[in-house]
Structure 1
């Protein structure tokens, strides 16, 4: 077996390589215009860099005050990771619309977080509480990725969801659990080397992927960017109809037939079916599921099947709530007629589209008559 000193030296070498990869990734991200996604990626990179340095085979006393800073960066990973997963997989995710009390509570938690790690250096029960919250956030991120898998219309995002559930989430959970283990196991040289090696693998894959997207041979960067925009295009808030990404002249005969069948299905209000899924619709239209996913995304502009259903159903709901003939019909009955299984999902979908509940919308209409 390799001596502990040799393991430590190899561990340090690998960690230096990881830091180099992170610097390279940071440079690639900073080349593009700022966005919420790029800021989250940079924050993730800083957090991982803190983890790489903090868990290196170096005595804690040699860090000095730097250890507190690294501790803050390291333990922030679960929070940043959760925000990143929400941003990537939840199309309606918008922290700016969170209620004011929630924002105040988060601000208070931020102060406690800085105090527990920056002042107390993790030497109190507050640190254990932060670890428990971190574990909950990581597991919830896995749930978010799993929950939206079936309805996701983007193949790249579907693969990313699987990677999150099976890879990153499992690894992050193991790290958090290790924080509760005995120090002799948590600081074992073999575990540290494994940790560094795994991070090197992940960062190498990330760098290779980034370079391939930006500098793929035979495919100009502008064309790659256009392809990515086409794939992830979606309706903007306030749009009455989703954006058509591909013109009809670009459709294949099979896509044209499928689009016509989908139009007929929508015209007949087939989307009022209860429990309708993308796989169920593909069966009814007698087409491969992957083809239907791609067609809805590229010709209707949706990234999520449930978003399309909600838009269609809410549009019908608004027509019925405006119609005096439906004044005496309970809102629950309208929701059930439109394909919802309960009032809760209907209320959330309606408010997300109109910024009013169905009851508020109906009341405003009736007051204007």
Structure 2
């Protein structure tokens, strides 16, 4: 085997082991951190497999299984990174199970090898891998615009472009070269690119931005804008939750004059119903306030305690919805009409946001507030 290929593969694996050790020390208790560690372990096994003298079926399976788990781990990591408390979709687990069982059956079951379906199973395994990688990339894209955590936005972009794109390229190349000879130099080029990616990741996470993952990963379940000292909404919001005025004063104490003015302007705009605009984005809100988008992002994130712009809007929208659903004079209004009035495009996101706040559906809430 070419010495340069062995050298670059060894470099890549060493760098990935360094990154995995850092993750184990700091993020092993985080679900997203564990999925990322599993992903790195799979990549290491993938790179080492051509260099190791594996002959027994058990050793081959143990080396291949972490590699098979890389696409599912990427999707699960992306979902945990970006979910803001949303559960992983139930329909995703059968897809993940299928993406594991198909390559294991194709490559590691002797009975199937004698029957000869390996080719068909191998062909099926490739789109399953690509599908899970694409699902992870779509998760990174979802709500990217509304993400208020700048470090997480950079991490999303890096994962989307570098990791997701590179994995898609590798899976496609594997499928292509299973039918055509591998051109000379391609394995070495692959090992070199893996080394460069690993070096860039280690440089970023260990030196340039050591807190990037800490700032990006979801906070503990007990921490949320509603339970922190930061205000969930202005002090005279519709439901009048206590403590918001004190939180605003505390946040304002750390602001300069321009930021304090923007915060007051933001609060006045939202109290006046600015949140009712359907499809409102952080960019549109910044234009309405005459502010720079990144400044407004930082204000809502660091001084009001929100990680996602939609969650910030939901505070105001669910406040108004709660008051209107509890109002006997509006009991004739359909829930959908209220949802559309306060800025939602459809009933589904309104129901989801409402249930996160009250742990019941809008209809159940109305029945409890206005007994028949």
Q: Same fold (TM over 0.5)?
A: yes
Q: Which residue of 1 aligns with 2:365?
A: 361
Note the 1:276-315 alignment, pairs <5 A: 276-315=280-319
Question: Which residue does the alignment assign to 2:235?
Answer: none
Q: Per-residue deviation at 1:303?
A: 1.2
Greater shift, 179-188 or 29-38, is seen at: 179-188
Residue among 136, 158, 161 paired with 1:163:
158
Show CA shifts across 1:298-347 (max 9, x none): 11111111111122211211111111111100111101110112222222
2:8 equivalent to 1:18: no
Correspondence for 1:27: 21
1:334 partnered with 2:327: no
Q: Contact between 2:81 and 2:216, CA under 8 Å: does it hold in 1?
A: no
Alpha-carbon deviation of 1:21?
1.4
Superposition pairs of residues 55-74 of structure 1, within 5 angstroms: 56=50, 65-74=58-67
Q: TM-score of the superposition, structure 1-length normalised?
A: 0.82
Are the counterparts in 1 of residues 149 and 215 from structure 2 also a CA contact under 8 Å? no
Superposition pairs of residues 218-229 of structure 1, within 5 angstroms: none
How far does residue 253 in structure 1 lie from its aligned partner after superposition? Answer: 1.2
Distance 1:102 1:183, change over 3 A: closer
> What is the TM-score with the length of structure 2 in the denominator?
0.82
Give 1:42 shift.
1.3
In angstroms, what is the RMSD of aligned CA positions?
3.2
Q: Quote how far apart the aligned CAs of 1:103 are.
A: 5.7
**Structure-1 residue corresponding to 2:127:** 132
Query: Which of 46, 50, 61 matches 1:51?
Result: 46
User: Partners of 1:241 and 1:326 in 2: how far apart?
Assistant: 30
Count of residues in correspondence between the two structures: 348
Deviates more, 1:229-238 or 1:355-364: 229-238
Alignment of 1:61-140 (within 5 A): 65-95=58-88, 114-119=104-109, 123=118, 125-140=120-135
Shift of 1:15: 0.9
Residues in 1 aligned to 2:224 and 2:358: alpha-carbon distance in whole angstroms: 9
d(CA) in 1 for partners of 2:217, 2:118: 48
Taking the TM superposition and a 5 Å limit, the aligned residue runs for 1:166-185 are 166-183=161-178, 185=180
Pairs within 5 Å for 1:238-253:
240=226, 243-244=229-230, 247-253=251-257
8 Å CA contact 2:225–2:306 kept in 1: the answer is: no
- Taking a change above 3 Å as real, the CA distance of residues 40 and 189 of structure 1, as seen in their structure-2 partners, is farther
Q: Structure 1: give runs of 5+ residues left out of the alignment.
A: 216-223
Query: Out of 143, 148, 163, which is 2:138 matched to?
Result: 143
Summarize the Cα distance change of 1:102–1:87 in structure 2 as closer, same or farther, 3 Å threshold: closer
Instruction: Flag the 1:359–1:94 CA change in 2: closer, same or farther, 3 A.
Output: same
Unaligned runs of 5+ in 2: 231-246
SS in structure 2 at match of 1:143: helix
Q: Would you say the 8 A contact 1:235–1:243 is kept in 2?
A: no
Does the C-alpha gap of structure 1 residues 344 and 173 become closer, same or farther in structure 2, counting only changes over 3 Å? same
Q: Which whole-Å deviations, capped at 9, do the CAs of 1:248-292 have from their partners, x for residues lacking one? A: 221111111111111111211210111211011101111110000
Shift in alpha-carbon separation, 1:108–1:62, aligned structure 2, 3 A: closer
C-alpha separation in 2, matches of 1:186 and 1:91: 45
User: Would the aligned equivalents of 1:233 and 1:303 in 2 still touch at CA under 8 Å?
Assistant: no
